[in-house]
Amino acid sequence: MTIGESILNAVTRAAFRTVCRLDHQELQNIPKEGPGLLLSNHVTNLEGPLYYVFLRPRKMSALGKQELWSHPVTRLYMKTWNIIPIHRGQVDGNAMRECQRVLEEGYFLGIAAEGTRSRDGCLREGQPGATFLATRQDVPVYPVVHWGLRELGTNLKRLRRTPVFVRVGRPFRLRKPDGTSITSGDRRRMTVEMMYQLALLLPADLRGTYADLSALTTHYLQFLDE
């Protein structure tokens, strides 16, 4: 870790602790060494920094939309934190190759399960990027969710600290069908099962598309604690 990164991390941690009341102890359930996918809901651009600074010194990377490199402040964070730029709305082969590289080098890779930010804080339909990486690289998946950060702006105006909660679920690997290649239908069902693991960790009113837990299945999930 460079001196510049150490300073940036310390300042960011201090900022979170100043403006938030953090309940983030479950992040320590994530192993000290990777590789692994950190599969998260995506509500605000602040969850990435939150996870990053409180998970270091683990080797960390993540996907970030290309637009974040256009502003000098966010560009500083992106470069310092080894974030991988991705062009949204298209298949970005370069980004996928970079993701595979960092996983092969033992990093934890943060990825937004929904592919884009949820405007109302509720889970949206999951996208297949994490499923592709988890099956291609055969790495563990760690479900991570947060809530509370959407209220940060409102609370700052009122000079109030914002309660922020982070939960970590049971890690798993994706189980491939025996003797057959993975079909698009398999990937779709894998994605749904992964999304329900996020829904389990969220308050009922934030489960969105995955609110009906009676539809939860785990046919494709091999939990690491079994």
Residue 124: pLDDT band by 50, 70, 90 thresholds? Answer: very high
In the prediction, which pLDDT does 65 show?
Answer: 86
CATH class (in words) of the domain with range 3-223: alpha beta
**pLDDT for 189-215, tens place per residue?**
999 999 999 999 999 999 999 999 999
In the prediction, which pLDDT does 199 show?
Answer: 98
0.85 cut: is pTM over it? yes
> What is the full DSSP assignment across the chain?
--HHHHHHHHHHHHHHHHHEEEE-GGGGGS-SS--EEEEE--S-TTHHHHHHHHHTTS-EEEEEEGGGGGSHHHHHHHHHTTEEEE-TTS--HHHHHHHHHHHHTT-EEEEETTSS--SSSS-----THHHHHHHHHT--EEEEEEESGGGHHHHHHTT-PEEEEEEE---EEEPPPTTSPPPHHHHHHHHHHHHHHHHTTS-GGG-GGG--GGG---TTEEETT-
Averaged pLDDT, 118-139 = 93
Averaged pLDDT, 40-55 = 95
In the prediction, which pLDDT does 74 show?
Answer: 86
**pLDDT for 57-105, tens place per residue?**
999 999 988 888 888 888 888 888 889 998 876 667 889 899 999 999 9
In the prediction, which pLDDT does 73 show?
Answer: 84
In the prediction, which pLDDT does 92 show?
Answer: 75
In the prediction, which pLDDT does 111 show?
Answer: 95
